[in-house]
Chain A
Amino acid sequence: MIKTETLHFAYPTGDDVLKGITLEIGDSEFVAIMGENGAGKTTLIKHFNGLHKPTKGHVLVDDVDTRKRSVASISRDVGLVFQNPDHQLFCETVREEVAFSLRNFGYEPETIERRTKNILETLDLSQYADSSPFTLSGGERKRVALASVLVWNPKHVVLDEPTIGQDYQQKDRLRNFILQLVSQRKTVIIVTHDIEFVAECKPRVILLSKGSIVADGPARKILTDERLLDECSLVRPQISSLMSSLNDLGLGQDIIDVYTARASILEAFRRVK
């Protein structure tokens, strides 16, 4: 469980970036943190593995204050994948890149080999195992970064903007993969601007604005709240706008995904017939 208690944070050079964040993310929960640029999303998730320590308040990971553990030790439980893969790739081969963290954590060579092989297969990267990560495309580099964290099988997974630079098919795979992680009872926290992606995944959504939480609830409720979304510079998902503009047909107004929308429209047609 990841828990924050009136978390305040300021960079040494400026004002408060986070102003009293209190939230609780339970084990095997799937959460999307959304909000405008500069709302403090990335700053918040950097608290989850102790990279940032709160200036006031507390962050607890599995009931232990992050001030009491080193980043390396918390990281074994909280895997944080950064937004830009170019900030971390440095090895000669993808295989080495993925094994880097396992070596840091002191795994046995056989375990390293087995785990690396598995994760490369899972993320569709096996064919690049011996390539240099620098020769891969942006989307592929992003998957290497993801693999390099998931490889040690952390209990909580935090992804910063995982969909950037991924084509639609890859996004679909990513969604299935995340749902698979959730079904393996892992906590998954994503930070994203990609409202369509969130609409398809339907996680719990936490809206952040100017360093404070403005809303926290199921995607269905939050992504259809025009006023709230506007406050956070977000636009509701296309399906949701469509359903809203077909209001007269008496369709459900809290629909954000294609399948429910289809069912609702079909039902309306049947009623007309």
Chain B
Amino acid sequence: MSIKMFEGFKFTRLSTPLHNLDPRAKFFLTIGFFAIALLFQNLYALLAVFLVQLPLVVVARSTRRWLRSMKGGALLAVLIFVMNFITGTTFAFSLSMTIRFLALISSFSIFFMTTSPDDLGLALESMKVPYTLCFTFTTAVRLVPTMAVDAQTVVDAQRSRGLEVDKGNLLKRVRNYVPILIPLIVNAIRRSVELAEALESRAFGSTEKRESLITLKMRPSDYLTILATIVFVTAAVYVNLYIQLPTLDIPIKMPHIWPWAS
């Protein structure tokens, strides 16, 4: 368990074109990436979805943290590749699914790295989501880094008492996580009770209609982003329906070892 991975999903206050974009426009863009990535199964198309995001990462000056989220996802990516491959799909398809996964994480990483939890809350509110729900959501996002630090401390404390997480057979290893998960959960519950009490003592929910110091306003660049997303998604749908994309033909396939795989 490492704190580093979460860095790739944590907001850092910077002033870049991407950070300054309206959260709703950015959310729309993220959903756009999401949709295109799910639309295609073609390796080249998915690779394109992934590569198109790289300039955005550079513009947002977050390359190092983005790489952390990629590194964090690497293990799962390998797992996805291996699981696909051994269950009888082709090499190219397994690779596609892995790239799709990376493209999805990358788009989320970019969104969360460049959007402050406050902005996110405002965006949700402006979309008429009830305030208590917005608040719950933004608090949850905000607590992720705190929980990550907590997790590291718990691991350290238990290791100091002789716990060796990576020792033993599979069952033992799973059981090794009990001394780590219980304190984490207990702490999370304690913290949320304390937070609720603190909120109530500051009159949370006393007014029905809230006003906000900052109101979100769409600027030309935001409309441009939304327009660009629409154009790209439409183009992607068109390509997917009417254009035959080249495929990668590597005739490597696992031998049939599973009775259900054909």
Interface set, chain A 75-100, CB cutoff 8 A to B = 75-76, 79-80, 82, 84, 86-90, 100
Q: Smallest Cβ distance from A261 to chain B, in angstroms?
A: 38
Residues of B within 8 A of A46 (CB): 156
Interface-facing stretch out of B51-59, B91-99, B180-188: B180-188
Residues of chain A contacted by B179 (CB below 8 angstroms) = 88, 90, 100
Q: What residues of B have a CB within 8 angstroms of the CB of A71 in the complex?
A: 159-160
Complex partner residue of A88 from B4, B154, B164, B190, CB under 8 angstroms:
B154
B7 contacts partner chain A, Cβ-Cβ < 8 Å: yes
Residues of B within 8 A of A148 (CB): 161
Task: Give the Cβ gap from B251 to chain A, nearest Cβ, in Å.
Answer: 42
Known: A105-B162, A149-B160. A90 touches B183 (CB 8 A): yes
> Per a CB cutoff under 8 Å, which of B7, B161, B178 touches A149?
B161
**Interface pair A82/B157, CB less than 8 Å apart:** yes
Q: Is the CB of A75 within 8 A of B162?
A: yes
What 1/0 mask marks residues of chain B from 2 to 33 whose CB sits below 8 Å from any chain A CB?
01100100000000000000000000000000
Kindly list chain A residues whose C-beta atoms are within 8 Å of the C-beta of B164. Answer: 70, 72, 104
Alpha-carbon separation in the docked complex, A88 to B228 (Å): 51
- If over half of B's interface residues share one DSSP class (helix, strand or loop), that class is named, otherwise mixed; here it is helix
A12-B4, A82-B156, A134-B186 are known contacts. Are A87 and B178 too (CB-CB below 8 A)? no
B:147-161 near A, CB below 8 Å: 150, 153-154, 156-161
CA distance A162 to B49 in the complex (A): 54
Say yes or no for B47: interface residue by CB 8 A criterion. no
Q: Is A6 among interface residues, defined by CB-CB distance under 8 A?
A: no
Q: Output the nearest chain A residue to B2 by Cβ-Cβ distance.
A: A12
Distance in angstroms from B161 CB to nearest chain A CB is: 4
Complex Cα distance, B157 from A100, in Å, reads 12
| A interface residues, tally (CB under 8 Å) | 27
The answer to whether A72 and B163 touch across the interface, beta carbons within 8 angstroms, is yes
Question: A87–B187 Cα gap in the complex (Å)?
Answer: 8
Contacts of B183 in A (CB 8 A): 86-90
- Report the Cα distance A13→B154, complex, angstroms: 19
A104 contacts B162, CB within 8 Å?
yes
Q: How many residues of B contact A (CB 8 A)?
A: 22
Within 8 A of A (CB), among B172-230: 178-179, 182-183, 186-187, 190
| Contact A82 B160, beta carbon cutoff 8 Å | yes
Residues from chain A with Cβ under 8 Å of B186 in the complex: 86, 89-90, 134
The residues of B that contact A89 with a CB separation of less than 8 Å are 183, 186
Separation in Å of the A168 CB from the closest CB of chain B? 26
Rounded to whole Å, the gap between the CB of B5 and the closest CB of chain A is: 11
* A10 interfacial by beta-carbon distance below 8 Å: no
Q: Are A72 and B159 in contact (CB-based, < 8 A)?
A: yes
Interface residues of A in 3-53 (CB under 8 A from B): 12-13, 46, 49, 51
CB contacts (< 8 Å) of B157 on chain A: these are: 82, 87-88
A170 at the interface (CB under 8 A from B): no
Q: Return the contact of A104 from the options B156, B161, B190 (Cβ within 8 A).
A: B161
Q: Given A87-B187, A89-B183, A90-B182, 17 other A-B contacts at CB below 8 A?
A: A13-B7, A46-B156, A51-B159, A72-B159, A75-B160, A75-B162, A76-B162, A82-B157, A86-B186, A86-B190, A88-B154, A90-B183, A100-B161, A104-B163, A104-B164, A105-B162, A149-B161
A/B interface sample: 17 pairs, CB < 8 A? A12-B4, A46-B156, A49-B160, A51-B159, A72-B162, A72-B164, A75-B160, A76-B162, A82-B156, A82-B157, A87-B150, A88-B161, A88-B179, A90-B182, A104-B161, A104-B163, A149-B160
8 shortest interchain CB distances as A-B pairs: A104-B162, A90-B182, A101-B161, A88-B157, A80-B160, A82-B157, A87-B157, A71-B159
